[in-house]
Structure 1
Amino acid sequence: MIPAYIKIHDHIKKDIEEGIWKIGDRLPSERDLADDFGVSRMTLRQAISLLVEEGVLERRVGSGTYVASKRVQEKMRGTTSFTEIVTSQGKTPSSQLISFQKKLASDTERRYLKLKADETVIRMERVRYADKLPLVFEVASIPERLISSFNRTEITEHFFKTLTENGYQIGKSEQTIYAKVANEKVSKFLDVNKGHAILGLTQVSYFTDGTPFEYVRSQYVGDRFEFYLENN
């Protein structure tokens, strides 16, 4: 016998596939849906939670449950900017700058960026969006000497483009992905609950001559973004 919550899951998913509920639509409240299906709120919540885990629905803190847009995908190959990734999938990228500071490089920044003990970095925190939906909270560190001639907009809004237009050749990147949960600060910026599943990414990007130019720590909302590998 098929459990009631699976039947509800399948029914809602079918309605979405048939366009009865479209991307971005807000679902009725759990109370109303439970009444419609003639089940308890606990049973209804099981079905909704499963759909959220599958990326079909998404919960927005203080707002409700919505039909999710297709996840943004990043191919784990080469070095590509967030703007290029989002634009290539027909979405509109945008950013919110949280902080932009000149700091003495930390031990970790010196190691990844191959800096001397007295060198400084520009460290910036940003929230990155696709079609106004927050996808990632990002902390980027860049050697200050490298970008001292650029203005803030050139760095914060289209950094990779600025580099290439100034003659730099972008090469490989090294990435490490890991699982974690959103802390209170990150959950507010990404509009998720504290403890929500997060994809952590550490990335170091290099010029073609092997010089590292950016060290980034990113936290992606797991049900809005996915990475995939492509091997030749």
Structure 2
Amino acid sequence: MPGDTRDASEQGALPTYLRIAEELTIDIGGGRLGEGDKLPPERQMAADFGVAVATLRKALQVLADRGLIDRRQGSGNYVLGGKSNVGTYALFRLERNPGGGGLPTARLLDMAKMTKPADIPDIGTTLPFGIRMRRLRSLSAEPVALEEIWLDGRWHDDNGLTPRTISESLYRTYEERLFLKIRNVEDRISAAALPDWAPEDLGLAPGHMMGYVERRAFDQYGAPCEFSRTWFDPTRARYFARVP
């Protein structure tokens, strides 16, 4: 963007405490942390995340504000039910392999207003164009996946959605910038070859067989609004879901 001197890898980067809050929220929403579970001591958690205790406490306060944990003075931090409050934060379904979890981050590779390709499903209107975004996803700083996202043209906003304003948490950006809330999704999992636009950072050659997720997302009114493709390396990441 004109006048933007930041490195592309820094654009949209969340503060460290919010990244930690995102990871813990995903763990709660995805069922890795269950109702009533006690979190490890704060000093241990801070050491595990490689941050100061003050930073860790800011992240925990975000969780408390979301109604996801109960911070009990002198006792510790306990997971609440929270299912109604995790919202879109629980929809990220990749975790480290092995080990699970992993601090999720993303780097925007490309963003453009383009004609919708014929091979994507209906995403909401007869408008011929959509917003295509391509991103490199990492877990705990290790690149694990590529994403290609198509957002329906009715949500296009030259001021609300730009390379500068997109944060690592894309659904969070939708809510804050476009007043678009992703309420539910449909995921289909298979395998597919890595596309030819894969960056060298991923460390795999185009054509390499990957785990593959196609997602169709629906807005707060129940209408389809977005379609995405995710190619993930199954040696580094796996898809996780708990039902119910």
Q: Give 1:132's aligned residue.
A: 141
CA distance in 2: counterparts of 1:210 and 1:160, whole angstroms: 16
Q: Give 1:220's aligned residue.
A: 232
Say whether the 8 Å CA contact 1:98–1:124 is kept in structure 2. yes
Q: Residue 100 in 1 paired to residue 111 in 2? A: yes
Q: SS at 1:160's partner residue? A: helix
Q: Give 2:72's aligned residue.
A: none
Q: Give 1:202's aligned residue.
A: 214
Say whether the 8 Å CA contact 2:108–2:135 is kept in structure 1. yes
CA distance in 1: counterparts of 2:155 and 2:180, whole angstroms: 11
Deviations 1:44-73 (A, max 9, x none): xxxxxxxxxxxxxxxxxxxxxxxxxxxx99
Q: Residue 122 in 1 paired to residue 134 in 2? A: no
Structure 1: runs of 5+ lacking an equivalent: 1-71
Paired amino acid for 1:132? A
Say if 1:182 and 1:169 are closer, same or farther in 2 by CA, change over 3 A. closer
Give the C-alpha shift of residue 194 in structure 1: 5.4
Following superposition of structure 1 onto structure 2, how do residues 1-232 of structure 1 map, counting pairs within 5 Å?
Answer: 75=30, 80-82=90-92, 91-109=102-120, 111-116=121-126, 118-148=127-157, 149-152=159-162, 153-155=164-166, 157-165=168-176, 167-182=179-194, 185-186=197-198, 188-193=200-205, 196-232=208-244
Paired amino acid for 2:130? V
Deviations 1:112-141 (A, max 9, x none): 20331x431111111111222111111101
Paired amino acid for 2:135? R
Structure 2: runs of 5+ lacking an equivalent: 1-25, 32-86
Q: Give 1:44's aligned residue.
A: none
Give the C-alpha shift of residue 146 in structure 1: 0.6
Q: SS at 1:230's partner residue? A: coil
The number of residue pairs the alignment matches comes to 157
Deviations 1:79-129 (A, max 9, x none): 54549979xx764333222211110122234x320331x431111111111
Deviations 1:20-66 (A, max 9, x none): xxxxxxxxxxxxxxxxxxxxxxxxxxxxxxxxxxxxxxxxxxxxxxx
Flag the structure with higher strand content: 1
Say whether the 8 Å CA contact 2:95–2:238 is kept in structure 1. no
- Provide the TM-score with structure 2 as the length reference: 0.53
Deviations 1:176-227 (A, max 9, x none): 1112343554373421355544101100111232112211011001111112
Identity %, equivalent residues: 20
Larger radius of gyration: 1
Paired amino acid for 2:108? L
Say whether the 8 Å CA contact 2:218–2:225 is kept in structure 1. yes
- Provide the TM-score with structure 1 as the length reference: 0.55
Say whether the 8 Å CA contact 1:81–1:160 is kept in structure 2. no
CA distance in 2: counterparts of 1:198 and 1:145, whole angstroms: 32
Question: Which sits farther off after the overlay, 187-196 or 207-216?
Answer: 187-196
Say whether the 8 Å CA contact 1:197–1:222 is kept in structure 2. no
CA distance in 1: counterparts of 2:194 and 2:200, whole angstroms: 9
